[in-house]
């Protein structure tokens, strides 16, 4: 058993207090051991609540537990994008990691899409935030090492329907192929993993097309239908696409997107949702708005702190 | 500061999602709302013919109106996105691909590739970087901007005046769109306005970062001095571009890449480079908007005689 009190850690984090650096190192190490035993494709049983992008919006994550129930009373499946952009990436990923370690069978964390090359993701907020809050990049290293062990996708088995949580890749036709992808390394641009994580739906087309960016694919309804048929499934669920309503449903209800960061980046004004999948496979998008705490501990206060208490007027040129 | 002692008459008002100021015969109105809804997205997407940026602030706007002449000038996302190239990119459009595009394609087309290309349909061509040279739009087509006279000091943006710490009567920042290009960089368009005791000043700034490829900025500055007679509006537009690594060299701390996400840092760095670089060869994309143009529009003095 772990040489530390995980319940106390979780309570401390729920109060938005950081854990000590050495404690985090141990927690990440232990979590890696748990993750290493998981397959690329995790089988999750309903009922389960599916959560999309969070992006370091800590108060909104706590809001999710308030409306969706706390673990272990509610089973959770998190689809990635835990850090960056929001103000509290460290608190967010610390809490999720502790929950995973405490309730490994009731909390599933899927691969973070936003991790491509070292250089790229240093430019986003997480790295700088770790340095600011801990004075060194160690904590950043613990977490990013652990991210490499996250599972790729999951499918949800229930009596009347199955749901897969991922994008689609042309080189992967069946769930069994995902199982053999080597996930214990950073996401390479070239491999099927990148396609899995980055392919986009294009409702105007039937088939695969190369993305105009010059890498990756877009996929149409025909691709989705074929994949579902081959694998005897009824629905694909994905994240990573912002939408004002907090969720969207495409292709005759065969593909849906869940988005869980309300008022994204503290300026988009969007709703968010979590998807509650019932024991019979029924799907309900539970829609919510930004947590009230963002008003008293959000970007306005951070900016004021940095300017020594005064909000400076902008003499832009 | 004697300017501060004598603030001009002005009236501020605010209602749901909208703020405005009236002063010196002008009215500036700013609207900031949430991103577009699913149904608004469908309408806009159909009109434009390509997928919208992930954050499209389609209901945001800035509008300045001159009461006497009826002249207005606005900034809106739908107009800005209409300036994005839809269709195959050609000479001058400055099209780019992501940094690893070649490696990606090779890994799928090399003989014996483990990941052969599936049957694909043609790609929907459009400028996925959302590059736009939108400079705002006016209500009166009859009133056109004409090239500025370089020898006339009134036909330029007076930096000295704008650097002076005069009181700001009205300030707003209006995002029009933003997209992270699927973590290949970032593309955004933000408009800012400040109304000063003596002038109106607007900066519309498009900023593009394509990781390991390039940085690109397109700025439009609008300046009007309340003292100009007849009323004169100066518009300066500038396009800059440089390879990614050339900008990266200017980082104050080599390991901290945060400034590369800051439009101010990018803008300042690009404009401080020799013109032959950032407004000459750029990043080698052949983008036609490199360089600077200054134009002016003279507004009707008192009685608008022209048909509107």
Residues of A in contact with B165 (CB under 8 A): 315
Q: Above 70 in pLDDT, residue A122?
A: no
Does B261 contact chain A (CB < 8 Å)? yes
Give the C-alpha separation, A50 to A218, whole Å: 24
Instruction: Decide: helix, strand or coil at residue A218.
Output: strand
Q: What residues in A contact B48, CB-CB < 8 Å?
A: none
Query: Which of A123, A243, A317 faces B260 most closely, judged by CB atoms?
Result: A123
**pLDDT tens digits along B147-161:** 999 999 999 999 999
Q: What is the mean pLDDT of residues B268-288?
A: 96
Give the C-alpha separation, A187 to A139, whole Å: 20
Which residue range forms the structural domain that includes residue B21?
10-90+122-298
Residue A34 and residue A60: Cα distance in Å, rounded?
Answer: 27
3-state secondary structure of B84: coil
B contact residues 167-186, partner A, Cβ 8 Å cutoff: 168, 171, 173, 175, 181-184
Q: Provide the chain B residues 68-97 that lie in CB contact (below 8 A) with chain A.
A: 97
User: What is the model's pLDDT at position B140?
Assistant: 67
**Confidence at residue B172, expressed as pLDDT on a 0 to 100 scale:** 95
- Length of chain B, in residues: 308
Residues in A closer than 8 angstroms to B51, CB to CB, are 202
Asked if the structure places residue B4 within a domain, the reply is no
Apex CA A47: angle with CA A43 and CA A52, to 5°?
75
**Contact between A210 and B120 using a beta-carbon 8 Å cutoff:** yes
Task: Please give the pLDDT value at position B139.
Answer: 79
**Residue B41 domain-assigned?**
yes
- Tell me if B160 is assigned to some domain: yes
- Measuring CA to CA, how many Å separate B131 from each of B45, B93, B218, B239? 16, 9, 9, 11
Per-residue pLDDT band at A237 (split at 50, 70, 90): confident
Distance from CA of B304 to the nearest CA of A (A): 32
Count: domains in chain B:
1
pLDDT of residue A185: 46
pLDDT given at position A184:
47
Kindly provide the ipTM of the predicted complex, given to two decimals.
Answer: 0.88
* Per-position DSSP letters for B191-232, written without gaps between them: EEEEE-SSEEEEEEEEEEEETTTEEEEEEEEEEEETT-SS-E
* Residue B159 near chain A (CB below 8 Å): yes
The verdict on a CB contact (< 8 Å) between A213 and B182 is: yes
Q: Which of A71-80, B47-56, B193-202, B261-270 has the lowest mean pLDDT?
A: A71-80
Distance from C-alpha of B269 to C-alpha of A259, rounded to nearest angstrom: 36
Of B100, B116, B257, the CB nearest to A189: B100
CB proximity B116 to A under 8 Å: yes
189-208 in chain A: CB under 8 A from chain B: 189-192, 198, 200, 202, 204-208
Decide if pLDDT at A176 tops 60.
no
**Rounded mean pLDDT of B268-286?**
96
Confidence tier at A128 by pLDDT (50, 70, 90): confident
Q: For all residues of chain B together, what is the average pLDDT? A: 91
**Rounded distance between C-alpha atoms, residue B67 and residue B301, angstroms:** 11
Q: Which residues contact B212 (CB under 8 A, 6 or more apart)?
A: A119, B99, B100, B244, B245
CA B155 – CA B64 distance, rounded (Å): 20
Q: Which residue has the higher pLDDT, A10 or A173?
A: A10
CB atoms A207 and B120 under 8 Å: yes
The DSSP output letter for B168 is P
**Residue A90 tokens, joined:** 């460290």
Cβ atoms within 10 Å of B248's Cβ, excluding its own: 17
Chain A, residues 100-129, CB within 8 A of chain B, namely 113-114, 116-117, 119-120, 122-124, 128
CB contact under 8 A, A171 and B162: no
Residue B287: phi and psi, rounded to 5, are: -60, 130
| Residue A192 binned pLDDT confidence (cut-offs 50, 70, 90) | low
Confidence class for position A114, pLDDT limits 50, 70, 90:
very low
Residue B135 belongs to a domain: yes
CA A131 to chain centre: 22
Residues 6+ apart with CB under 8 A from A21: A134, A136, A138, A139
Q: Is the peptide bond before B131 cis (omega within 30 degrees of 0)?
A: no
Q: Is the pLDDT of residue A118 over 70?
A: no
The answer to whether the CB atoms of B120 and A209 lie below 8 A apart is yes
pLDDT class for A198, splitting at 50, 70, 90? Answer: low
Weakest-pLDDT range from A49-58, A197-206, B141-150, B286-295: A197-206
Position A231 pLDDT exceeds 90? no
Is B112 part of any domain?
A: no
Return the ∠ at Cα B81 (arms to B78 and B83), rounded to 5°.
120
Calculate the alpha carbon distances from A273 to A64, A76, A164, A303, B121 in Å: 9, 13, 18, 28, 34
Q: Give me the residue from B55, B181, B183 closest to A268, CB to CB.
A: B55
Percentages helix, strand, coil for chain A, rounded to the nearest 5? Answer: 35, 20, 45
pLDDT of residue A44: 78
* Chain B residues within 8 A of A209 when measuring between CB atoms: 120-124
Q: Taking each helix axis as running N to C, give the angle between helix A6-14 and helix A21-36, from 0 to 180 degrees, rounded to the nearest 10.
A: 110
H/E segment holding residue B28: strand B26-31
The band of A156, judged by pLDDT with boundaries at 50, 70 and 90, is very low
Q: Going by C-beta distance under 8 Å and a sequence separation of 6 or more, which residues neighbour residue B106?
A: none
Does the structure show a pLDDT above 60 at B2? no
* Cβ distance of B55 and A192 shorter than 8 Å: no
Grouping H, G, I as helix, E, B as strand and the rest as coil, residue B5 is: helix
Name the residue among B25, B250, B295 with its Cα closest to residue B149. B295
Could you read off the pLDDT of A246-265 as tens digits, one per residue?
A: 999 988 888 888 999 999 99
Q: What domains can you pick out in chain A, each with its CATH number?
A: 6-292 (3.60.21.10)
Q: What is the band of A168 on the pLDDT scale with cuts at 50, 70, 90?
A: low
Q: What are phi and psi of B178, to 5 degrees?
A: -160, 140
Question: Quick one: tokens of B102?
Answer: 């070649």
Q: For residue B95, which phi and psi values (nearest 5 degrees)?
A: -65, 145
Q: Do A119 and B258 touch (CB under 8 A)?
A: no
**pLDDT tens profile B18-58:** 999 999 999 999 999 999 999 999 999 999 999 999 999 99
For residue B214, which phi and psi values (nearest 5 degrees)?
-160, 170
Q: Most A CBs within 10 Å: which of B182, B208, B209, B285, as the mutation test of the A interface?
A: B182
- Please report the residues numbered 232 through 261 in chain A whose beta carbons come closer than 8 angstroms to any beta carbon of chain B: 241-245, 248
Distance from chain centroid for Cα B120: 35
Judge contact between B223 and B200, C-beta under 8 A: yes
Do the domain assignments include residue B52?
A: yes
A97 pLDDT band (50/70/90 cuts)?
A: very high
Confidence check: pLDDT of A197 > 70:
no
What's the mean pLDDT in B177-195?
94
Report the alpha-carbon distance of residue A191 to residue A196 in Å, rounded. Answer: 9
Q: Rounded to a whole number, what is the distance in Å from the CA of A294 to chain B's nearest CA?
A: 17
Return residues 197-226 of B near A (CB < 8 Å).
203, 211-212
Question: What residues have CB less than 8 Å from B102, skipping those under 6 apart?
Answer: none
pLDDT higher than threshold 90 for residue A279: no
> Does residue A30 contact residue A101 with C-beta atoms inside 8 Å?
yes
CB contact A317 to B (< 8 Å): yes
Work out how many CB contacts closer than 8 A connect A with B.
134
Q: Per the structure block, which two tokens stand in for A310?
A: 């005064």
**Residue B286 clears pLDDT 60, i.e. is over it:** yes
Whether B70 and B308 have beta carbons less than 8 Å apart is answered as yes
Euclidean distance between CA atoms B153 and A144, whole angstroms = 56
As to burial, measured by CB atoms within 10 angstroms (0-12 exposed, 13-18 middle, 19+ buried), residue B61 is: buried
Q: What percent of chain B has pLDDT over 90?
A: 77
Q: What percent of chain A has pLDDT over 70?
A: 76
Helix (H) or strand (E) holding A17: none
Q: What is the pLDDT of residue B183?
A: 79
**Is B103 part of any domain?**
no
Q: Give the integer Cα–Cα distance in Å for A235 and A253.
A: 7
> Above pLDDT 90, what percent of chain A?
41
Å between B303 CA and nearest CA of chain A: 33
Looking at mean pLDDT, say which of A126-135, A165-174, A210-219 comes out highest: A126-135
Residue B33 lies in a domain: yes
* Residue A312 buriedness (CB in 10 A; 0-12 / 13-18 / 19+): exposed
Q: Is the dihedral of CA B257, B260, B264, B268 positive or negative?
A: positive
**A171 confidence band (pLDDT: 50, 70, 90):** low
List all residues 6 or more positions away from B93 whose beta carbon is below 8 Å from its beta carbon: B85, B127, B131, B287, B288
């Amino acid at each position: 058993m772990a040489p530390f009190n995980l319940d106390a850690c979780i309570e401390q984090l729920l109060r938005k207090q950081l854990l000590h650096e050495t404690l985090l190192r141990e927690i990440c190490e232990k979590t890696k051991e748990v993750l290493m035993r998981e397959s690329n494709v995790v089988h999750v049983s309903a009922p389960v609540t599916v959560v999309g992008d969070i992006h370091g919006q800590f108060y909104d994550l706590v809001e999710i537990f308030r409306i969706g129930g706390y673990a272990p009373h509610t089973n959770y499946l998190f689809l990635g994008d835990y850090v960056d952009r929001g103000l509290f990436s460290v608190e967010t990923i610390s809490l999720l990691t502790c929950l995973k370690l405490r309730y490994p069978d009731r909390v599933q964390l899927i691969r973070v899409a936003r991790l491509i090359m070292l250089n790229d993701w240093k430019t986003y907020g997480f790295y700088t935030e770790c340095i600011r809050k801990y004075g060194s990049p160690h904590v950043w290293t613990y977490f990013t090492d652990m991210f490499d062990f996250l599972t790729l996708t999951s499918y949800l088995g229930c009596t009347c329907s199955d749901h897969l949580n991922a994008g689609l890749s042309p080189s992967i036709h069946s769930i069994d192929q995902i199982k053999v992808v080597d996930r214990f390394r950073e996401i390479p641009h070239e491999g099927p993993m990148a396609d899995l994580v980055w392919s986009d739906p294009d409702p105007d087309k039937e088939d695969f097309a190369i993305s105009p960016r010059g890498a990756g694919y877009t996929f149409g309804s025909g691709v989705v239908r074929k994949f579902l048929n081959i694998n005897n499934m009824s629905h694909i669920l994905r994240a990573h696409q912002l939408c004002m309503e907090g969720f969207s449903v495409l292709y005759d209800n065969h593909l849906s997107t869940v988005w869980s960061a309300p008022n994204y980046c503290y300026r988009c004004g969007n709703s968010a949702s979590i998807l509650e999948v019932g024991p019979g496979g029924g799907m309900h998008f539970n829609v919510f708005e930004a947590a009230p705490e963002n008003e008293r501990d959000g970007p306005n206060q951070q900016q004021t702190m940095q300017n020594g208490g005064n909000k400076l007027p902008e003499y832009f040129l | 500061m004697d300017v501060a002692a004598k603030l001009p008459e002005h009236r501020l008002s605010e209602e749901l999602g909208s703020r405005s100021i009236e002063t010196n015969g002008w009215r500036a109105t700013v609207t900031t709302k949430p991103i577009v809804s699913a149904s608004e997205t469908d309408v806009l997407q159909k009109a434009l013919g390509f997928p919208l940026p992930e954050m499209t602030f389609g209901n945001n706007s800035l509008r300045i109106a001159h009461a006497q002449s009826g002249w207005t000038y606005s900034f809106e996302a739908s107009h800005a996105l209409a300036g994005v190239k839809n269709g195959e990119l050609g000479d001058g459009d400055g099209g780019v691909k992501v940094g690893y595009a070649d490696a990606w394609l090779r890994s799928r087309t090399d003989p014996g590739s483990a990941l052969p290309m599936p049957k694909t349909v043609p790609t929907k061509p459009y400028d996925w970087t959302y590059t736009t040279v939108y400079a705002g739009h006016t209500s009166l087509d009859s009133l056109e901007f004409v090239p500025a006279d370089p020898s006339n000091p009134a036909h330029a943006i007076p930096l000295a005046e704008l650097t002076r710490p005069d009181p700001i009567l009205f300030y707003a920042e209006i995002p029009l769109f933003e997209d992270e290009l699927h973590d290949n960089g970032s593309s955004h368009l933000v408009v800012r306005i400040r109304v000063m005791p003596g002038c109106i000043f607007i900066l519309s700034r498009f900023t593009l970062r394509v990781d390991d490829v390039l940085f690109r900025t397109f700025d439009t500055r609008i300046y009007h001095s309340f003292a100009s007679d007849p009323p004169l509006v100066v518009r300066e537009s500038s396009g800059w571009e440089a390879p990614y690594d050339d900008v990266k060299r200017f980082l104050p701390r080599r390991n901290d890449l945060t400034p590369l996400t800051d439009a101010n840092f990018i803008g300042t760095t690009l404009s401080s480079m020799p013109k032959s670089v950032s407004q000459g060869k750029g990043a080698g994309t052949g983008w036609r908007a490199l360089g600077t143009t200054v134009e002016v529009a003279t507004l009707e003095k008192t009685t608008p005689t022209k048909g509107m």
